Chains A and B, each alone.
Chain A
Amino acid sequence: MIALQVIGFILLGLVPFRDDLVNSVTFDRRLTFESFGVRISLESDDIGLLSVAHEIAETAFLGKLKLIENTTSDAGYRFGVIRKGDEYQLFQNGKRTNNCKSRSILFKYFRSMLRITVAENAVDRVFVHAGVIGWKGRAVLFPGQSCRGKTTLVKELIKCGAEYFSDEYGVIDNEGFIHPFPRDLSVRNHVYQHDVVDISALDLGATIRRDPARIGSVILTEFKKDAQWKPELLTVGRGILETIPHTIPIKAATEMSLKILNLAFADAIIAKSTRGDVNKDAVAILTFLDKHLN
């Protein structure tokens, strides 16, 4: 039913277009949406692929996108997907950037690119690559790189009763409030850690946070074998400094990013430590939060 609605919309919403940009490939069909203030066009010459791309965009932004009726209006960013022979090709702003024989891998990459494009260019929002939980009515931010144990920690914390905000993004508004981005958790495969499966936070028994919250604490931590949680408190400035590598628009919107991080971190307890065993250290982190969050 949903698929039919989507295709129905596309049939109604699409208009053929041609682009006169030199060296830029053009496509017959286009669908434009806006998410977090960023306008993106999806393009293809294949209505089936466009339909899949649209569904992926819907899930990538948890439904927080608005379709633009007038599809001839300019979008800042364009993604095209086509099939050529036995491979699928991805285009960004009219130029081919990736090709792959596996459709699912190409779309997985596409979803990642879509999210990063919005995260980097969002209006009045700063996306921090971070796990986020709620504890005692405040948000707790765990900025960190991929594959450093963020999701594992968030998963354990929500098992201990923390609210779920996100395992990927802390979305901070221009008043310093952090908004939930409760996508499914990307949990690493037990057998092979470089593969992931998506698990719903609800299936893990989590309470999903729906409203924005002030940041009560920022925890800078990553997994190290045999390490223990021994937090060192940081100043606001040092906390922001260490969060900069995980702040997605830091280069595209430096001034806004620093201003918003400053607002958001102003009252936060900021701590840094490596951590080891997740079962033990999740409890230790919650004990730390209990002590510091009033």
Chain B
Amino acid sequence: MSDALDALVERDREHECPGFGPDKVCVRIVAVAKLPSRFGDFRVVAFWNNRDQKDHLAIVHGDVVGAEGVAVRMHSECLTGDVLGSLRCDCRDQLETALSRIGALERGVVLYLRQEGRGIGLANKIRAYALQDRGLDTVEANLALGFRDDERDYAVAAHMLQSLGLGPIQLMTNNPDKISQLQKYGVKVASRLPHLLPPNPHNRFYLETKARRSGHYIDFSGTPHLQEQSDPVLVEGMIDK
């Protein structure tokens, strides 16, 4: 199982996409290693790209190179949630759920995209939190802080999927728009798998409160929640609107 991915590292040495340049995305697979984790047996694939000076990752389970119907989840880096266990967002739940589900399948991929705060950067995300703490209308404030357009992120993600040599994929998302975005960049999406989070004490409020505005929830501690992944949060038992 290791050979196919290792071969991609060889393949991408000195690789340059045709038309490689400032306005074209080019990615290379630069390293592959085993990543046994509490969520299952994975391999981690490191990518280089010419766009954002960020090392994006693919966390791969099973034989995916050349396979069809591979389950794929795109996750945007969220240091506060993923690493620090912040309850201001649901990123850790989303990531852990994706890794456990994929770890239980025959094969699958989590793309770990290093676009903190959906691309606005960590410092601006903390600034947005600070505005929320002051009780401002945070929807407005966040619009202003301006989640960067997702477009270029999809371009890089799509290219990463293509580099892995995946056939038509099954995308784990609650946002059908993501499918058309990826398709725009040439990724074949065979179907969509809803990404439902198992209920837990931290996300229980989703089942009990109604969103005041799109993607805007107040949790039990009174802290506003924002959608940091470009997916609406769906908890099992919630009515899918």
Are A and B a genuine interacting pair, yes or no? no
